[in-house]
Structure 1
Amino acid sequence: MDQAETYGAGQLPVGRKIGFTNKSIWPEYNIYASNWGYMYANTVLSLRENPTFEFNQRAMSLQPRIEPEVVLRMASAPSASMSDTELLDCVSWFAHGFEVVQSIYRDWKFNSAETTAAGALHQVLLIGRTIRPAASASKEEFISALGDVKVDLYRNQELMDRGGAKNVLGNPLNALRHLCEILENQSLHPRILPGEIITTGTMTKALPISVGDRWHTTLQQDGLQSVAHQGKGFESAGVEFKLREGSYPIHVEKSLALSNE
């Protein structure tokens, strides 16, 4: 995390993605365990500042797919032994957005170890408006409402799949605890640090992207809106994908400001 001179500012890890938390897609890939990988300063972006995302030809050759996810940012370090409410206290904000994943393996055929070696397939994370619990809401209410969020995923106005936060090990906070368990049982990588951004896994199938696609989500989240700060729940996400000449693997106009706002 401290290797700025070695890696360059754009390649510094700023968080982690958790892969294969949605067990409904395990048979499709013949993968039956979750994994994780790092995300970097130049692969974590604001969806509000990047509603159009530009691939180059080589990045498109990595067979990108799109995943609607729940994202969170750590205010303090979590641990697997914490209760749900204690984990919630460790989070400074939540958001809805897209992770774009990629495969260096032809036709998305791989085993579990290969997906981990490929950075858990991370390419870019696009984050929407951030939210946090309302001061007047109970922590239990917010956690329950978070797990009840449902999502419809559209490509070019056509409904492609339906899912929800319950697909992510029952609740995005369960995915966070699961990542803590993995890291606490190995010594190669540090445990989750304050300030890290965590994306918790796809709520639907991961679907292939083509140049010119416009993807968006609609959300059912009445319960979450009632317990979120200022009544603002997750913002529906939308992005258009275009092709450009540029450096590999992605072209970045603006990096996400990693703040509490």
Structure 2
Amino acid sequence: MSDGTLAPEVLAQRAKANGVELWSLTDHDELSGQAPAAAAARALGLPYLSGVEVSVSFIGTTVHIVGLGVDPGHPALAQGLAGMREGRLGRAQQMADGLARVGIRGAFDGALRYVGNPELVSRTHFARFLVETGVCRDTHEVFRRYLVEGKPGYVPHQWAALGDAVRWIREAGGLAVIAHPGRYKFTPTEEYALFSEFRGHGGQGVEVVTGSHGSADFVKYADTALEFGLYASRGSDFHSPEESRTDLGALPVLPGRLTPVWEALADRIQPA
């Protein structure tokens, strides 16, 4: 319901067909997909864990904090996410203006064609428009040429504070997880600050095995999980059959010395 291309029901079918044993839909800053996802999983006999991915600003970088096992109807979480979404539309118009200055016109309306809720328009929707119109070969090229810092379509945005995101997740009964930490371009000192502050706010998990990580990242963040006393998570970061590096159910297993996050969330898993 945010930047994926498949409906929750279709994702559930794909997860089941690919041998996924526990599935969670974690849309960016959005909870409306939780009810259909849970219903589809239940109909397929697929255990389900509610989820969300909250956008956070930390030391000038956008960081994603996944909330697993949250109550989708909890007011603190819903209100926090609604407040964050208010700035997306204005940011999107600025992105379109930047692209227009380098000759790419119609990007705002083009991006909106790819998103059901304009409040959730993101760089990914712009990327799909630029691929559709032949400006770039694929979304990875779009980001590299137009949508990262220093490029024409990049516009920074102030997302939630780390402490607020963790608090919303905890108040909604969930467990907060740092998503794909290997993607962030932090120095070692900045990364240590992220994990320290996250732990101080009550964060409890980190994605160790994910579609955004290589084998060296698996080892590094397994060590980080042990160092900070965090549960280990494992997620595909799957958005689209055409765009994602890793399909649902295709990841290697977690290193055995770690404690999986799903063990801490056993009472929040919706059984098949």
TM-score over 0.5 (shorter chain): no
Shorter-chain TM range is under 0.3
TM-score by length of 2: 0.27
TM-score by length of 1: 0.27
Structure showing greater relative contact order (alpha-carbon pairs closer than 8 Å, 6 or more residues apart) = 1
Structure with more helix by fraction:
2
Name which one, 1 or 2, has greater alpha-carbon Rg: 2
Structure with more strand by fraction:
1
